[in-house]
A and B are shown apart, each in its own frame.
Chain A
Amino acid sequence: MLRLPVFALHEPETLGQVLELLRIHQPSVGLFAGGTDLLPNIKLGQTYRAHWISLRRVEELHEITPFDGGLRLGASSGLATLATDPDLTAGWPALAQALDKIASPQIRNMATLGGNLCLDTRCRYINQSQMWRQALGGCLKSHGDQCHVVPGGKGCVAALSADSVAPLIAYGAEVDILGPSGLRRILVQDLYDSDGLHHVRCQPDEVLTAVVLPAPPATRHVRYRKWSVRKSIDFPLVSVAVRLDVDAQGLLSDGLIAVAALGPKPRVLPLGQLRGRVLDEQLAHDLGQMAFDRCRPLPNIPYDPAYRRERLAVEVRRAVRDMAGLPIKPLAARLALLGDQL
């Protein structure tokens, strides 16, 4: 069977101890949350650290704290807990639904929100055994110097595969990052970089401590749509959240489309220019087309990128229809009118 290499596992109980351990054991040290993704990656030899710091015993990372209509979620909050948390499901339902779509019940019992945000990027040329990668001759992310996704490419384009990212962006969430020089707070959409090797903008001596959800305005609607081949277990092949803010007349006032599972970084498409539009099938169609035009899935995760691009448009349409009170799946008759989009 696949074996784990030898490493030291530290189990600090305070954030101070976490920072200290991070400092002492640089450079071969990493943070270990639920471990549901990390352990397979360690077994497959994709990542190695001599020291892993488990965050499980750090109490304050588990805290869920309401504030001014908002919610601060400790990074170690479990996905299963959050998916059914009454405050979260009431105020940020699309996020709760997204978390409930991650992997399987057993994995959600172990996995954490912070772990999902810091999930390593995925690619069909990386998430393979050591033997497989050696047979390939390696890649930018794995003992090699060429990219197989973008031949001739100089940067790793492995895909951001965390389901939580798109809905968090849609809700305008921020993250707290603690380091030796103190706490900083940044928007989730600024957390990511386009380098698939180091796509999370945390320094090696920092720790992501919490996710901060601002109070959602009553006029804000968010839907999360995920597509994977199977209905459970799989990482997203399409991951998109659509936010529509509506004014008193029910017309669009602002919004955005946040798309993950493309490259290492999420794509955010603002909708401010569409202010005043009616929430109808035409809007669904136009936003689907916008996502189709502006997003180009790569052959990095294991499914036909051309189909994923079409499917992204479908999922955007369905998100909009849902918020517009239309049936999510159009009737056969209406399909014909959608024409080439299909």
Chain B
Amino acid sequence: MSQPLDSKDVSSELPQQPSRHILGGRHGKADSLDAMTGVARYTDDISLPRMLHAKILRSPHAHAEIVRIDVSAAEALDGVHAVVVGREMPTCYGVIPWTPDEQALATDKVRYVGDAVAAVAAISEEIANLACQLIEVEYKVLPALITPEAALQHPEIKIHPNNKHGNITKSVQLAFGDVDGQLEAADLVVEGHYQFHGTTHGALEPHCAVAYFDTRQLLTVWSSTQVPHYLHRELAKVLGLPTYQIRVIQPLVGGGFGGKSEPFDLEFAAALLSIRTGRPVKLLYTREEVFLAHRGRHPFDMNYRTGFSKDGKILAVDARSILDGGAYSSFGLVTTYYSGQLLGSPYAFDSYRFDSTRVYTNKPACGPKRGHGSVQPRFAMEVQLDKAAVALGLDPIELRRRNFIGENTTTINEFHVGSSGFLECLDSVEQASGWKQRRGRLPRGRGLGVAGSTYISGTNYCIYPTELPQSGVQICLDRSGRVRVFAGTSDIGQGSSTMLSVIAAEELGVEIDDVRVIAADSDLCPVDLGAYSSRITLMAGNACLSAAKDLGGKVRDAVAKSWGCSRREVLLAGRRAQRLDDPSVWMSIQDAFVLAEIAYGTMGSTGSYQTPRQEVHGEYRGGTIGASPAYSFTAHIAEVEVDEETGEIEILHVWCAHDCGKALSPVLVEGQIEGSVYMGAAEVVLEHHHVMDSGLKADGSQRDSGPGVEGLLAASSLLDYRMPTTLDTPQLHAMIVEKPDPRGPYGAKEAGEGPLHSAIPAIVNAIYDAIGVRIDQLPATPSKILAALRAQRSGNPL
């Protein structure tokens, strides 16, 4: 081939041998400027001709039977096009196929304040709101069970009448090794009672769906979801349509954090209203509705006993947990398993058991929030370790090192752990924080705390039983020099589309901006299971790598043929194909693609990823839940200052080192670390998704007011649900540790959720280091700190 028109010789700048030209570079997110300049198109930015606006009427009662619904006045209102109620789509659904206990709109019962009862489509949101007010619903109010204690005490008041065991949604008991014997033999047994409060995701973008049942009777649903594939399946199930008649598109999502990882009432309601009216229908949640949709972190009540030898080795873990599930199952079956199953790493121990019970209550349903089901037990576990370190006179980092599980090994509950950079994580935070020099020498009121954790890089099994791949990617390239990647993946702001661009660009020799990612459109893209469980980089990344390698091989073959060399001697990088042994021989990547298209015809390839079936998990019942192809590792050190006169905690610094295997995009990994720490820190000192109860004490010493408040959200706005402002955010120090895992693309593991976990116990342990009091019940409010300090002064620590 001749030299390209641009004859500027930059060959000396080209890599002389195969190396990464994109991967691991300090590039940003491919579409970040769109979001920053306000031109990014989210679901609510969609406006279609003849579009109607819909609103949902919600229950004012925490628990009631629906006696009668009269929609006639609403239907008669000028501007109203349709009103739908639950009996028009009564099929129960649930993101976990084993626990379908939700209906799009309630038919017989409402189970929390905010449960959906009816939906209206009108020519404007204002008229839809007005019409909702005109719907008459007669309720028979039932006693509201707001706390798990109340729900367990009153199995006769069944929140779900068909549930087998009172109000228990799931109960799991698993045991490994001789727990009682080891506890008896232990030199030290630490016992603790811990509480983790409810928190929610706080994504900037409220949930929104647009549905259009078009003239060909194809239903298209645009939704701000993290799981377009599961939404697709559930829409088909509930609406009784075949999946080929439904198209699900996920536009850009303004944050999910787990709060959009299952279908919600709005998608079904918009769809049915569009089917009824033949017009596009948009349904946008208010912020309050986002708080009601919830699916946030489960409140946990935990009792832990941990046995140690005198040299700090963990001998036994005995964990009992009650999970407050809220009104529906959501991912609760998985949460209940995760509450115990993910405790087995990053430490090795010989015996362990857990007993976890999830309970229905008349509150917004809990579900997966960043670090699903494992953040709460990690808090208890890591505070237990801190208490042991104090009791044994050991440095808490040293205690953790002594218990390190190792690499290429198996946890007590039989999960296979591949690469692990946990020790390197501990080293990094120890050094960066000045732990050795400063710990124990800080003035009273200031303290350092450490904690460690582990997390999954995707679940080994799909939510529904299948042998199908977890992720598929199709890549096309053509004479334009551009690469198109089609993937079912959900970019919810975490940068999954950038990740695909990086891999495709790396393998095909183009720049990130030369890759167009078409994602999350069920008509255009192969299936991916969605943005949950931190699965996309490992799974879709592998699928993308496989397709890209295939295409890259063909391009290099075609180029090699023209140069009369072997494909091994052709490097694709920096928008060029060049000879490895002679950089002066090169052609533009566009010319290389042309050669390939001539040689092979239209250039396309697919890749798919299926999780390993060997060496992943044990064969016992439940042994698959928590199993992942690869695990990430994290260590945190927090520095806090406690004001002993006010009880206020200032989190000054959090150092976080995270082993993500290989950082494909280090800037994005650092962003995930910072965002995770921000979120975790907020859960310790600020955020509380509190549902009011007239009967019990709640929210510290504050008693909620009398009858009428049961089931109401204490904080249903971003003013009252206090997320940290910039001024409330600690100095965040993100450090990347890379221990490549053979199962990840280029060795990559997850980075989106792991870095949250141990931020919480690190802060709580730092509080102890600062003032010598333990806060075992979160959140760590000033009143709790003052009460603990008073008890400390009186000689009767809490």
A132 B713 Cβ-Cβ under 8 A: yes
- Of B86-94, B602-610, B783-791, the one contacting chain A is B783-791
Contact A148 to B725, CB < 8 A, known contacts A134-B60, A330-B645? no
Contact mask for chain A residues 277-314; partner B; CB cutoff 8 A; 1 contact, 0 none: 00000000000000000000001001111110011001
Q: Select from chain B the residue with minimum beta-carbon distance to A311.
A: B646
A332 B445 Cβ-Cβ under 8 A: yes
For the complex formed, measure the closest distance between the CB of B210 and the CB atoms of chain A, giving whole angstroms: 14
- A231 in contact (CB, < 8 A): yes
A304 B706 Cβ-Cβ under 8 A: no
Chain A contact residues, majority secondary structure: loop
A230 B727 Cβ-Cβ under 8 A: yes
The residues in A between 225 and 262 inclusive whose CB is less than 8 angstroms from any CB of B are 227, 229-235
- B705 in contact (CB, < 8 A): yes
- A276 in contact (CB, < 8 A): no
- Most chain A beta-carbon neighbours within 10 Å: one of B646, B711, B726: B646
B286 A1 Cβ-Cβ under 8 A: yes
Residues of A near B645 (CB, < 8 A) are 314, 317, 329-330, 335, 338, 342
| Cα separation A127 to B711 with both chains bound (whole Å) | 17
A329 B727 Cβ-Cβ under 8 A: no
Contact mask for chain A residues 313-342; partner B; CB cutoff 8 A; 1 contact, 0 none: 010010000000000011010011010001
Residues of B near A330 (CB, < 8 A) are 645
Residues of B near A302 (CB, < 8 A) are 714-715, 720
- Most chain A beta-carbon neighbours within 10 Å: one of B701, B703, B714, B720: B720
- Most chain B beta-carbon neighbours within 10 Å: one of A229, A306, A336: A229
- A3 in contact (CB, < 8 A): yes
The residues in B between 441 and 485 inclusive whose CB is less than 8 angstroms from any CB of A are 443-445
Contact A135 to B786, CB < 8 A, known contacts A230-B725, A234-B719, A304-B702? no
For the complex formed, measure the closest distance between the CB of A14 and the CB atoms of chain B, giving whole angstroms: 34
Partner of A307, one of B284, B714, B783: B783
A329 B643 Cβ-Cβ under 8 A: yes
- Most chain B beta-carbon neighbours within 10 Å: one of A131, A137, A305, A332: A131
Q: Select from chain B the residue with minimum beta-carbon distance to A151.
A: B706
Contact A132 to B288, CB < 8 A, known contacts A230-B686, A231-B725? yes
For the complex formed, measure the closest distance between the CB of A333 and the CB atoms of chain B, giving whole angstroms: 9
- A186 in contact (CB, < 8 A): no
- B136 in contact (CB, < 8 A): no
B705 A234 Cβ-Cβ under 8 A: no
- A185 in contact (CB, < 8 A): no
| Cα separation A330 to B711 with both chains bound (whole Å) | 42
A232 B727 Cβ-Cβ under 8 A: yes
Q: Select from chain A the residue with minimum beta-carbon distance to B124.
A: A3
Q: Select from chain B the residue with minimum beta-carbon distance to A5.
A: B126
Contact mask for chain A residues 84-111; partner B; CB cutoff 8 A; 1 contact, 0 none: 0000000000000000000010000000
Residues of B near A304 (CB, < 8 A) are 699-702, 781, 783
Q: Select from chain B the residue with minimum beta-carbon distance to A227.
A: B646
- A128 in contact (CB, < 8 A): yes
- A149 in contact (CB, < 8 A): yes
| Cα separation A338 to B645 with both chains bound (whole Å) | 9
| Cα separation A335 to B786 with both chains bound (whole Å) | 12
A3 B724 Cβ-Cβ under 8 A: no
| Cα separation A1 to B289 with both chains bound (whole Å) | 10
- A124 in contact (CB, < 8 A): yes
| Cα separation A336 to B717 with both chains bound (whole Å) | 39
For the complex formed, measure the closest distance between the CB of B48 and the CB atoms of chain A, giving whole angstroms: 18
| Cα separation A135 to B781 with both chains bound (whole Å) | 29
Q: Select from chain B the residue with minimum beta-carbon distance to A229.
A: B722
A1 B719 Cβ-Cβ under 8 A: no
For the complex formed, measure the closest distance between the CB of A332 and the CB atoms of chain B, giving whole angstroms: 5
- B58 in contact (CB, < 8 A): yes
- A50 in contact (CB, < 8 A): no
B709 A148 Cβ-Cβ under 8 A: yes
Residues of B near A2 (CB, < 8 A) are 286
Contact mask for chain B residues 207-248; partner A; CB cutoff 8 A; 1 contact, 0 none: 000000000000000000000000000000000000000000
Residues of A near B501 (CB, < 8 A) are none
| Cα separation A235 to B720 with both chains bound (whole Å) | 10
A149 B782 Cβ-Cβ under 8 A: no
Contact A232 to B726, CB < 8 A, known contacts A134-B60, A307-B783? yes
The residues in B between 416 and 445 inclusive whose CB is less than 8 angstroms from any CB of A are 443-445
Residues of B near A311 (CB, < 8 A) are 646, 782
A307 B286 Cβ-Cβ under 8 A: no
| Cα separation A136 to B113 with both chains bound (whole Å) | 10
| Cα separation A302 to B790 with both chains bound (whole Å) | 24
| Cα separation A307 to B699 with both chains bound (whole Å) | 12
For the complex formed, measure the closest distance between the CB of B431 and the CB atoms of chain A, giving whole angstroms: 29
Residues of A near B728 (CB, < 8 A) are 230-232
| Cα separation A229 to B113 with both chains bound (whole Å) | 27
Contact A307 to B790, CB < 8 A, known contacts A148-B708, A329-B645? no
Residues of A near B113 (CB, < 8 A) are 135
A136 B712 Cβ-Cβ under 8 A: yes
- B621 in contact (CB, < 8 A): no
Q: Select from chain A the residue with minimum beta-carbon distance to B288.
A: A129
A233 B709 Cβ-Cβ under 8 A: no
Contact A332 to B726, CB < 8 A, known contacts A3-B126, A129-B288, A132-B716? no
Partner of A306, one of B701, B709, B713, B724: B701
The residues in A between 65 and 99 inclusive whose CB is less than 8 angstroms from any CB of B are none
Residues of B near A335 (CB, < 8 A) are 644-645
Residues of B near A129 (CB, < 8 A) are 286, 288, 716
A131 B60 Cβ-Cβ under 8 A: yes
| Cα separation A310 to B443 with both chains bound (whole Å) | 25
Partner of A135, one of B60, B720, B782, B790: B60
The residues in A between 117 and 140 inclusive whose CB is less than 8 angstroms from any CB of B are 124-125, 127-129, 131-132, 134-137
B783 A135 Cβ-Cβ under 8 A: no
B716 A128 Cβ-Cβ under 8 A: yes
The residues in B between 707 and 747 inclusive whose CB is less than 8 angstroms from any CB of A are 708-709, 711-717, 719-720, 722, 724-728
A1 B284 Cβ-Cβ under 8 A: yes
| Cα separation A299 to B790 with both chains bound (whole Å) | 23
| Cα separation A303 to B701 with both chains bound (whole Å) | 10
B444 A332 Cβ-Cβ under 8 A: yes
A148 B722 Cβ-Cβ under 8 A: no
A342 B790 Cβ-Cβ under 8 A: yes
A299 B716 Cβ-Cβ under 8 A: no
| Cα separation A58 to B683 with both chains bound (whole Å) | 46
| Cα separation A336 to B793 with both chains bound (whole Å) | 8
| Cα separation A10 to B129 with both chains bound (whole Å) | 27
For the complex formed, measure the closest distance between the CB of A81 and the CB atoms of chain B, giving whole angstroms: 22
Contact A148 to B686, CB < 8 A, known contacts A231-B727, A302-B715? no
Residues of B near A338 (CB, < 8 A) are 645
| Cα separation A324 to B712 with both chains bound (whole Å) | 46
Q: Select from chain A the residue with minimum beta-carbon distance to B720.
A: A302
A135 B61 Cβ-Cβ under 8 A: yes
Residues of B near A135 (CB, < 8 A) are 60-61, 113, 711-712
Residues of B near A310 (CB, < 8 A) are 786
B783 A131 Cβ-Cβ under 8 A: no
| Cα separation A228 to B562 with both chains bound (whole Å) | 72
Contact A299 to B705, CB < 8 A, known contacts A129-B288, A131-B288, A135-B61? yes
Contact A151 to B705, CB < 8 A, known contacts A3-B126, A132-B288, A231-B727? yes
10 smallest A-B Cβ distances: which pairs? A135-B60, A231-B727, A148-B705, A304-B702, A232-B725, A307-B783, A332-B444, A137-B708, A129-B288, A304-B700
Provide 24 A-B residue pairs closer than 8 Å at the C-beta atoms, listed in order of the A residue.
Answer: A1-B284, A127-B720, A129-B286, A131-B60, A131-B288, A135-B711, A148-B705, A148-B708, A151-B705, A229-B722, A230-B722, A230-B724, A230-B725, A230-B728, A232-B725, A234-B719, A235-B719, A304-B700, A306-B702, A306-B783, A307-B783, A330-B645, A335-B644, A336-B793
Other A-B contacts than A3-B126, A148-B705, 18 sampled, CB-CB below 8 A, are A1-B284, A125-B705, A131-B58, A131-B60, A132-B713, A132-B716, A135-B113, A151-B706, A230-B725, A302-B715, A304-B783, A306-B701, A307-B786, A310-B786, A311-B646, A311-B782, A330-B645, A338-B645
